[in-house]
Amino acid sequence: MTDLRADVWRALDTVLDPELDEPVTDLDFVESCTVSGDGVATVRLRLPTFFCAPNFSFLMVADAYDAVSAVPGVTRANVTLADHHASAEINGGVAAQAGFVGSFAGSDQGEATAELDELRRTFFRKAALAGQDRVAQTLVDAGAGPAELAATVLADVPPSAELARMRHRRAVLGLPHDDGAPLLVHADGTGVTAAQVPLHLRRARLQRVGIEANGTYCASLLRKRYPAVP
């Protein structure tokens, strides 16, 4: 089952912390991952604190369950969250495919009043904006000014992992992401004008810095909580 475990791990690579926009594998949120001889995949997730937001936590566990369940050869997925104040609700709800609201119905953890689709989109919008700063930075460093940046389309940008990530975030949101799409776009998908470029890039950079600062903080909390984490 070594190859199947590798397939499961690759599936987990697609599961993001919604706030940090990074895979749970890169964040060391996967405490263990095993696959039995009959194809049962058992994954245990952990988070930086006991009180990480239940909605973010639920999204990660549910997404991990869906990703692992879809791996060919996996006969059953057991995905759980350890050491969290809402572990019982989250783990039981994900296993039962009850959704976020159903998972917390009647719980003393507080009542969930809505599903999480809009929350997910909110974080994808933030990630798509931050991605514009990451991708544009190389062009800015090379001397591109507002007029050039406003005229740049995605086909003009050298291929990179950051460009691919930004394209994917835009695709999820239904924003322009093909080769002819502008590099810099507003939240509604319209292109940024030359006059708007400086303010737009400042906002994009603030968003990127905020996400990265949260990531650094969470990494330090995780190492403090689990000293074995490198």
CATH number of the domain within which 14 lies: 3.30.300.130
Looking at the structure, do residues 76 and 53 belong to the same domain, yes or no? yes
Looking at the structure, do residues 108 and 6 belong to the same domain, yes or no? yes
Q: Which of 77, 97, 115 is the last residue of a domain?
A: 115
| Closest of 26, 9, 28, 90 to residue 225, by C-alpha | 28
Name 33's Cβ contacts closer than 8 Å, sequence gap at least 6.
5, 8, 9, 12, 41, 42, 43, 44
Looking at the structure, do residues 162 and 92 belong to the same domain, yes or no? no
Quote the pTM value: 0.89
Looking at the structure, do residues 83 and 20 belong to the same domain, yes or no? yes
Name 73's Cβ contacts closer than 8 Å, sequence gap at least 6.
4, 7, 39
Tokens for 70? 């879809």
Looking at the structure, do residues 108 and 164 belong to the same domain, yes or no? no
Q: Please report whether residue 226 resides in a domain.
A: no
Looking at the structure, do residues 105 and 10 belong to the same domain, yes or no? yes
| Residue 135 domain boundaries | 118-219
Q: Please report whether residue 185 resides in a domain.
A: yes
Q: pLDDT tens for the chain, 230 residues: list them.
A: 459 999 999 999 999 999 999 999 999 999 999 999 999 999 999 999 999 999 999 999 999 999 999 999 999 999 999 999 999 999 999 999 999 988 887 665 555 556 788 889 999 999 999 999 999 999 999 999 999 999 999 999 999 999 999 999 999 999 999 999 999 999 999 999 999 999 999 999 999 999 999 999 999 999 999 998 87
